[in-house]
Every structure is written in structure tokens, then in C-alpha cells.
Amino acid sequence: MGTSTAYGGPGGGTPLVPSWLGGEDAGTSPAAPAGPDGSPPADGVAPPAPANRPPIPATADPQRFSGARNSFSRFAGSGGSDRASLGRAVSRYVSTSAGGARQAAQRMGASRGAGARLLGFLADAQARGVREALRALDLESLAGRPINEILVGLADYVCPGAGTVDEGIAREAYIETIVELASEGLTDLTTFTPDQMHTVFELYATHAIEARICNDIGTKAITMPADAQAAHRVEQQLRDFIRGGVSDALTRARVESPNLMPQRIQSFVDAVYESTFAILKSLGDAEADQ
């Protein structure tokens, strides 16, 4: 579905939100060894208390992806004409597969971080100029380059790491966003307006959510139409559906936070993701009822 990170989908027995997603490990240095009978070491220094680690999340329902997969398979099999099945697939993904809008947003850990860094850079470039924003990241050599080259040069800053599926989704969404900029008429970073800045973020969040859904429900478990045009229509309709939700969520967030301060960018991005999934659930239900 337009992303190299696609795989067969999780088996269903994993937690809704993995314990490692979006948080740092709370570990400390290793404890000093105790005596053979469990007593303090000979030097009289008691070992440090065990680290406080988050509880292991409960195993989720192994069948929680089946409803979304079945509905999306029917949508794909229709060549994109069965909009009710598309709506049910997205609605079931949010409500059942992910466990609600908040849980769905939490699953976007790397993409939320990347989205905040991307939006933060664009806001800084608009406020202080592209050269100063790049200088702050020790990337001043990119100043004056075309926008796609600047953003490619920022890839490791925006999307550090690609060792997990979550990080791979974040990076792939970023690359697809760069590719799409020209078709949106976004070619000159030095003249960006606030609307254009938010359009870049809208594109990024759309690609990230699409990739997350496709990876979760398992594109390899879904039979796409053999006809290339029909397959493209299925993919484009899903993307447009998601982008509509992102656009609505972004519009609401901008009304609530018209002046985006640097220290509020991450909370702004988090709110957009959660609101997007809530809107997608509502839009999906509306499509399914038609």
C-alpha cells in the first residue's frame, strides 16, 4: 500500500500498545551482587533497590484485527467501489483493533515524535529564516538548496533510527511526504505561509497513519485487485479518506492553538493524531451506514 514497511500484520496476541513504544527504558545501573544467602555484600553496602519498570501490558484479543481485515478485503475486492466496507474497516480498526482513538494515537509513537520535529523545524524556519533554523541543527550547508534536498538532509534529525516497525513507518512516511511536495505546489521553503507549513505536516501524518493501519491489518493478508488501476484506486481512496480526517483534526487544533509556541508543538501534534483517529471512527461509521 505504498510503503516498503508493509508486512503480514501482527498475529493479534501482542499488547495494544507495546511497553517500549514512546517511552524511555527506566532501567538503572546493575545492582551490586549480594551474598550467596541473599545477605548484603561483605563491604556492608546494600544493593540498590530494583528499578521501577512499567508493568507488562495484558495480552490483547488475538482476533482484534480480523474485523478490519475482512472489511478491508471486501473493499479491496470491490476495486474501491464498496465505500461502506472501507468505512467499516477504518472504524473497526480504531475501535476494536487499536482499542480506541487514544490507544491508536499512542501506537504512533515514532511518527508523533517525527511529526513534532518536522513541524518544529518548519515553524522555526518561518519565524527566523531557513538558514538560522538549519544553523541551529548544524546543517547550515543545506541553506539555499531546493526544498526536497533540505528535507532529505533533515531525515536523520526528523526520523532518527529505523530499527523497529514503528520507526520504519515514521521514516517511510517522511520520504513519501518529500516525494509528494511538488505535486502540492510546495517548492520554496523560504516563502512558506503558515497554511503551507501545516499542509506539509498534514501530508506527513496522512502517510504515517496509512502505513500504520496497513501494517497492523496486514496488507499481505489482503488480496488486492489484479488490475493496476483498480489497485491504485483502492490505495488512493484509503489515503484520501485518512487525509480528510487529518485535515479536520488539524483545523480544529489550529483554532484551539492559533499561536503555536515551540514548547507546545509536541502536545499539538499528539492532539492532532488522537483527534484524527476519533474523526476517522466517526467518518467510518457514517460511510458504513449509507
Q: What angle do CA 285, 289, 290 make, to 5 degrees?
A: 125
How confident is the model at residue 107, as a pLDDT?
A: 93
Query: For the purposes of burial, counting CB atoms within 10 Å of the CB of 137, is it exposed (0-12), middle (13-18) or buried (19 or more)?
Result: middle
For residue 5, the model assigns a pLDDT of 41
Instruction: Please enumerate in sequence order all residues whose Cβ is within 8 A of that of 56, keeping only pairs 6 or more positions apart, or say none.
Output: 15, 19
Q: Is 254 helix (H, G, I), strand (E, B) or coil?
A: helix
Q: Does the structure show a pLDDT above 80 at 15? A: no
Lowest mean per-residue pLDDT among 64-68, 114-118, 187-191: 64-68
Name the least confident of 27-31, 88-92, 235-239. 27-31
Looking from the CA of 212 toward its CB, the CA atoms found within 13 Å total: 29
The Cβ of residue 87 has, within 10 Å, a number of other Cβ atoms equal to 24
Q: What span, in angstroms and rounded, lies between the C-alpha atoms of 241 and 29? A: 48
46 has a pLDDT exceeding 60? no
Res 274 pLDDT > 60 = yes
Chain segment 136-184, per-residue pLDDT in tens: 999 999 999 999 999 999 999 999 987 899 999 999 999 999 999 999 9
Can you give the pTM of this predicted structure?
0.80
Residue 102's nearest CA partner among 273, 280, 281 is 273
Higher-confidence residue of 229 and 206: namely 206
